[in-house]
Structure formats: C-alpha cells, structure tokens
Copies of this chain bind each other. A is one copy, B any other.
Amino acid sequence: MAGNPRAELVVVADPFAEAAGALAERYKCDPSTDCEAAIDREDVDAIIIGTPTDTHLDYLLRAVGKGKAVMCEKPVDRDIARSRAAVEEIERLSGRVMMAFNRRFDPTSREFRAAIDAGEIGEIRQVIITSRDPELPPEDYLRHSGGIFRDMVIHDFDFARFLLGEEPVEIMAMAGRLVDPGLEKIPDFDTVMVQMRTASGKQCHINCCRSAVYGYDQRFEAFGSVGMLLQDNLRPTTIRRWNSTQTDAREPLLNFFLQRYQESYQAELEHFISALEAGTAMPVTVRDGLIASWLAECAYESIRTGRAVRVQPSSRN
C-alpha cells in the first residue's frame, strides 16, 4: 500500500506502540495505538483490517458506520450467527467491504477462471482441489484458529465457489489426525476430505492436509464436457535434474503462502483500489466470506452426524 501510486498510506495502527512506530517510520506515515481512532480519522477513506479474528467484526462495523471502505481478512467472525448479523447490517448500510480471499487474484487463478468463462472446457462436471500446507502450525496457533475447516479449508471453499460459478447445495466431510494424533486434545483435525454438489449437479472434491514435506501444494483441476484445466504449483526455479536414479526432477515447491501468493496479494490490493476509484462493486464481498464460513459449519455438521448436509439456501439469503 505504501508503494502504490494510486493510494496514500496515512496511518498504521497497532496496540503495540513499538510495532506501529517501526512501520510508520519505515513507510513515512503516522503511527497509532488506537485502532478505532485511526478508523475515525477524517483523512482516512479506506481501511485494511489484518487484526486478530475476534476484532474483525467491531472494526468492520465501525468503519462501515463511518462510511469508510474496508478490505478485511477472513473470517468476518468466528461465530457464524454474529457473522450473519454483521453481513446483513453491512449490506443494509451498503457498506463497501472487500473480503481478502487473495487466491482469487493470483494470475493463474484469474486466467483459469477466464478460460472457464470463455467456454474452453464447456460445462464443468468436476472440480478437484488439493491444498496442503508445508508444516503443522504451532499448537498455540491451532488453539485460536477455530479449527481446520474454518481456518484453512475456508480458502478452498471460497475457491471452489470461484471455480464452480455456482453455490454448493450439499456437502459431505471426513476428517482425521494423521499428522499428529495429539491434536485431539485441542481438538482439531489435520487431514480432511470434502465432496460437494451444486444445484445443477456439478461435483467438487477438496483434500487438505496441514503438512507436506515437499512444500506448499496448491493444485486445482476443472474437468468439463469439452476439456480440462489444471493448475500446477510454483517452484523457485525451473531447473530439472537428471542423474543415475531419476530424471527431470524439479525442486520442492515454494514453501508457503507468503511466497506462493505474493503476486496475488499485490493484485488483490490493486483490485480493491480500482473498485474504490471506479465506485464499482467489490470483487469479493462479506457475503462471500459468510458463505465460505457457512460451508465450514456444514462440514463440521457432516462430520458430527455422518450425513450429507444440505446447505440451506435460506441460510445464504
């Protein structure tokens, strides 16, 4: 944001004065330890919320109430009922809020979706999403994460909707602890599978794991009536190694989301600024955030009940 010629960074707010000060000095803007005051400043038109999850909702509503635009990290709130109420309030106020599902702005993701829209694969039949983190996060992170479906798979739920172009109406989930059985005490899972169906019958499979020795694995496949699209992973270089035991070996994947999605974070910001400048609709909304959160809740219900869960349309309107 600081380097973007279309925006001016006015203030960095952080309850920790030292952190706020360091960033403010580096990026030549005001520091603040009072997030609410920062939101209220008259010279602030738009806010980026990257605070702990349990503060999202208050800051969101405050900013919207003051007529400020917002880009907010997912989720709206850890509690689905509170999230729904907030989203409805934001919509009632015609608040301009963008949900920061950065993967939608990755160059490959956009080209992938554009190819689908251009009819390259005809009618989609099946979408397959593989999403594996390189390493299990620390236990402390997991305790506050809300669980793998709300913290990690939520990105894949959003991406599935982005690719399918339709709402899932049915979901079946399966979860285990194959990386660390000790997660039972949190409790959380580390390895899961989901299958979903849309109203028109399109099928989607998601597999996730919190740990993969070869790096951050993000693959997507969309299979349709006249073709298929695959997205491969990114690697640091294009070297291929040949020796007496193997050929054409490539490097391990980029290690984690900050490297893998560096370009998408930048593009996400550009889209936010463009929507502000043009006064057009946000490319991802809090409603999108709410639906992804709701799919996570449905996944937990499927695991509890051992049933395919109907994603009630009423819950999304």
Contact = CB atoms under 8 A, between A and B. Distances in A.
Interface of A: 3, 107-108, 111-112, 115, 120-121, 123, 125-126, 128, 130, 132, 170, 172, 174, 176-179, 191-193, 195, 197, 201-203, 205, 207, 209, 211-215, 223, 225-253, 306-308
B237 A108 contact: yes
B230 A240 contact: yes
B205 A195 contact: yes
Given A249-B246, A307-B306, A241 B115 contact: yes
A126 B233 CA distance: 19
Given A193-B203, A207-B205, A246-B252, A111 B227 contact: no
A207 B205 CA distance: 8
A253 B247 contact: yes
Those 5 A-B pairs whose CB atoms lie nearest each other, nearest first: A249-B249, A227-B243, A108-B237, A228-B242, A232-B238
Q: Most B CB atoms within 10 A — which of A115, A192, A201?
A: A201
B176 A244 contact: no
A241 B120 contact: yes
Given A201-B178, A209-B223, A252 B248 contact: no
Q: Most B CB atoms within 10 A — which of A179, A233, A308?
A: A308
A214 B176 CA distance: 35
Contacts of A108: 237-239
Nearest to A106: B237
Contacts of A132: 223
A203 B231 CA distance: 23
Contact of A197 (B176, B226, B233, B234): B176
Nearest to A130: B128
A273 to B, nearest CB: 19
27 contacts: A112-B237, A112-B239, A115-B239, A115-B241, A126-B193, A126-B209, A174-B197, A176-B203, A191-B201, A191-B203, A211-B225, A212-B228, A213-B243, A214-B242, A226-B243, A227-B244, A232-B238, A232-B239, A233-B247, A235-B247, A241-B249, A244-B252, A247-B249, A247-B250, A247-B252, A248-B249, A249-B250
Contact of A240 (B232, B243, B244, B252): B232
A246 B250 contact: yes
Contacts of A308: 172, 174, 306-307
B246 A241 contact: yes
B197 A120 contact: no
Q: Most B CB atoms within 10 A — which of A225, A230, A238, A307?
A: A238
